[in-house]
Structure formats: structure tokens, C-alpha cells
Chains A and B, each alone.
Chain A
Amino acid sequence: MMDDLTLLGFGPDGWAPLLLKGCLLTLAVSATSMAIGTVLGVLLAWARLKGPGWLRRTALVYGVVLRGVPELLVILLLYFGLPSLILSLSETFGWEAPGLPPPFLVGSLSVGLVSAAYQAEIFRGGVGAIPRGQFEAARAMGFSDLLCFHRIVLPQVARVVLPALGNVWQFNLKDSALIAVTGLSELMRTSLVAAGSTRHPFLFFGVAMALYLVLTTLSSTAFHYGGRYSNRWDRG
């Protein structure tokens, strides 16, 4: 028991600093991928709703593919597959060979790309849930498209999509564990290393589980209150 506490402590043999750093890194990767997913998701939703035919079809195919393959595969493809393709290309054309890409960037990007596919569906549904008359009332008074989006669409979409986005965020947070395969020392990777080098797998995986639970619980509480706030005008 003393042994466990030492291992989890802040002393010279303790893993606490690394585990906390892992938590922060997990949060950072998740937040970055969520942001990438939101920006790309809004664009994809716009493409599906208002884009010209070819763009609409491209966005549709994107969603089908990225939601239809395992996330791990996307990460492996971007982190190992793409560089090896570039490597063989550079050998062919005699370019300077690039190294492996930065894990943080590729990790966030791959989780973000998948997240975008799910978020696009959520935004599309959210805009569809706003009655036509809402846009018409704004247009009839001379609102520009941008002003209408900002003042009329966005606040109403937020109410509809926030609970669903909370779910996506929770998936993002958990999927970020897959980035461990790139060697990025986020929470999952750190606990793997700790479990292996101390031979206390139950202890460290248990702690990792607890830390993930803390992260997901805290953030879903935040989404809950965000959702309540954005919904303040629709209550009784």
C-alpha cells in the first residue's frame, strides 16, 4: 500500500507529475480536435445544405467514409501511411526525405477529421430544425446572410446541438487515447508506460480510468450548464 502511494506521488519515484501532464495533453489534443471538427463540420454542413451539387456529394462521401472506418485506422493512415507514401514519392523524385510528422498535430487532425463528420450531421440537423419563418422574418427586415446566421440561426442552433456536441466531445476525449500509438505521452500512453515499467498495471490502468472519468464528468457537466443557458428562452 505504501508502495502504491509512492508510485502515485510527487516524489522521485512517483508518476503523479507525468500523469497530470498526460491529462493536460489529453485535454489539449481533445480540444484541438474538437475545434478542427467544429470548423470543418460547419463547412461540411454548409456544403450539404447550400453547396453546389458536386460539393454536396463530396461532403456526403466524406461523412460516409469517415464515420464508416475505425478511428485507429485514420490515425495509422495519417501518421504512418501518409509519411511512407511521401517517402517513396521523394525517393522517386529525389526530394529530401521528411521524418515522421509531429504526433500532436497528426493526432489532433485525425481525431478532428472524424469528429467533423459527426459534427456536420449535428449542425445539418440543427439548422433544419429552425422554422423557415425565422429566416424570412430576418430577411424581410433587411438582414444580410451573415447577420441572420450570427443573430438568428446560431443561437437557435446552439440550443439544439449543444447536447449532441457534448456527446461528440466525450467521444473525442476517449478517442484521443488511440493517439497513444503515435507515442504522444497523453494520459493513455503515460499510463501504459507507467504500468509496464513499474509492473503495476492494475494500479495505473485503474488510475487512468479514474482520471478519464474525472475529465468526462467535469466536461459533460460544463456542457449541461451550457445547454441550459442556451435553452433559457424555451423553458416554461
Chain B
Amino acid sequence: MTVPPPVLTATNIRKSFGDREVLAGISLEAREGEVISILGGSGSGKSTFLRCLNLLEVPDEGQIAIGDVQAPLTRNRHGRLEVSDGRAAARLRTQTAMVFQGFNLWPHLTVLQNVMEAPLRVHRRDRDEVLATARSLLERVGMAGFHAAYPKRLSGGQQQRVAIARALATNPKLVLFDEPTSALDPERVREVLALMRSLAEEGRTMIVVTHEMAFARDVSSRVVHLMNGRVESSGPPAHMFGPDASPAFRAFLSPAAL
């Protein structure tokens, strides 16, 4: 079996906020079709790490590449990394998509417009083609009847499903999920997780920051445990959720057992 090419390569990512070191050198490679779950306690840096991957946060150190295109990070005269070319960064981001904890749908656009906005305006794709894609995506996420609705009218679970359709509309190489179910009622969590599972099954490359252990165990191809800004341990779920997992990760899974 040939190894699929890497979609994302992050090398030695470091980031501090003031004196507090949040990321102490994290490397991660995601190959095509991989679903990577990033787990960790609060403050372990998992969301910050995810936000570094599409340069919503600029890391202090490290390198990021999407496919074989290097992120335009260069050192300024104070020795800190900065985005040297905003257009190149934007171009790189067109290859990825992100689903947020707080959905972040654009409230002034309808459901359909939310999904069509990026492929139309950023990728400048043909309108009919974009419309057809948007329709089938909304059908796929179970929101076909809501084309003309504004986000305010939707429940959290519905908004998140639209946000997932929006993320898929550009057919990105990599989808980043930042705690996509943390703001949802337990009942709504299930519908969003089911949708994410079906995306994983169709071979989407996904990096998911989550607290949903069942999702990490059953759906992901690799689980990464972050602790104190470092990769404490990682491996396939069978290993991570088995008897040979690292003590720290086992403690994380069942804090009551400590």
C-alpha cells in the first residue's frame, strides 16, 4: 500500500502569549484521508495549535505547509515570525476550511448565500456550478428546506450543519474543526457528530479539536494528546484507548480514577 501524500505539515510550532508558553514545539503531519483528533485538557494549547495551522494565529516559531506550499512566515527585525505576504497567506487558506465552536455564520446572509459566498467571491467559480454544489451540500447536511432562512432563525445544531456545508463548499484539501460540538445541546451534538463521521467515511482530511471521546475513538485514524503545549502521546485509537496507552493520557480519560 502506498502512503498518501501529506496535506499538512506543521513543524516545531511554538507560541507564547506574553510570558505564558502555550505551544512548546508541536509537529504534526496529516496525510490525505486522515482524521486526526486532538485531545487535551483546557489550556493544553489545542485550539491555539489548530488556529496556527491556518494562520489565524501567527506562531512564534515553526513552519507550516499545505501540500507542498510553504506558509509565508518570515522573521521580522525583532526576530519574531510574521506573515510576510498577506495575499499568499489568503491563497493558502483557500485550500483549507474551518468549522468553529461558535459557528460564525454570517448573519446578514441567508443559509444559501453563506454556503455560496467563498466559492463565488474567493474562488470565483461559475455561479450555476456553485449553486448546484451548495444545493447538494445543504441536502447532504439535512438543511435543504432552509435555503432562504437567516442564521438567526436556526438552532445551534442547524447552524453548525450549515457551517459544515459552508466549509465543504470550496472542496478544501483540509477541514479544521475547533470544538465543533462544545456549544451545542447534547441532543444536537449527535446530529453534528453523525455528519462529521460521514465526512470521515468519504475520505475527507480532517483535524478535529474535540472533547468527544467516542468520536476520537471510533472515527479518527489518529489521536494526538496535547499536554502543556507538547504532544504527550499519539497513535491510532486502538492503541490510545487500549491498555498500553500512556499513563498521562489514561489519567486524562478518567480524571476521577486519579
Report if A and B associate in a common complex.
yes
A136 touches B56 (CB 8 A): yes
A137 touches B98 (CB 8 A): yes
**Distance (Å) between the CB of B131 and the closest chain A CB?**
17
- Per-residue CB contact flags for chain B residues 161-184 toward chain A (1 = under 8 Å, else 0) read 000001100100000100000000
Q: B251 within 8 Å of A by Cβ?
A: no
Q: A224 within 8 Å of B by Cβ?
A: no
B100 touches A142 (CB 8 A): no
**Distance (Å) between the CB of B165 and the closest chain A CB?**
13
Q: A147 within 8 Å of B by Cβ?
A: yes
A133 nearest in chain B by CB position: B104
| Chain B residues whose C-beta falls within 8 Å of the C-beta of A141 in the assembled complex | 93-94, 97-98, 117-118, 122, 166-167, 170
Q: A152 within 8 Å of B by Cβ?
A: yes
Task: For chain A, give the interface size range.
Answer: 20 to 34
A158 nearest in chain B by CB position: B108
B149 nearest in chain A by CB position: A233
Q: A143 within 8 Å of B by Cβ?
A: yes
For the complex, count residues of B whose C-beta is within 8 A of A: 33
Q: B77 within 8 Å of A by Cβ?
A: no
- Per-residue CB contact flags for chain B residues 145-172 toward chain A (1 = under 8 Å, else 0) read 0000010100000000000001100100
A136 nearest in chain B by CB position: B56
A233 to B107, CA, bound (A): 7
A141 to B104, CA, bound (A): 12
B122 touches A145 (CB 8 A): no
- Per-residue CB contact flags for chain B residues 101-137 toward chain A (1 = under 8 Å, else 0) read 0111111111000000110011000000000000000
Contacts A137-B106, A152-B106 given; 8 further ones with Cβ under 8 A? A133-B103, A136-B56, A140-B97, A143-B122, A147-B121, A156-B108, A233-B152, A234-B152
Which residues of A are interface residues toward B (Cβ below 8 A)? 131, 133-134, 136-145, 147, 151-152, 155-156, 159, 233-234
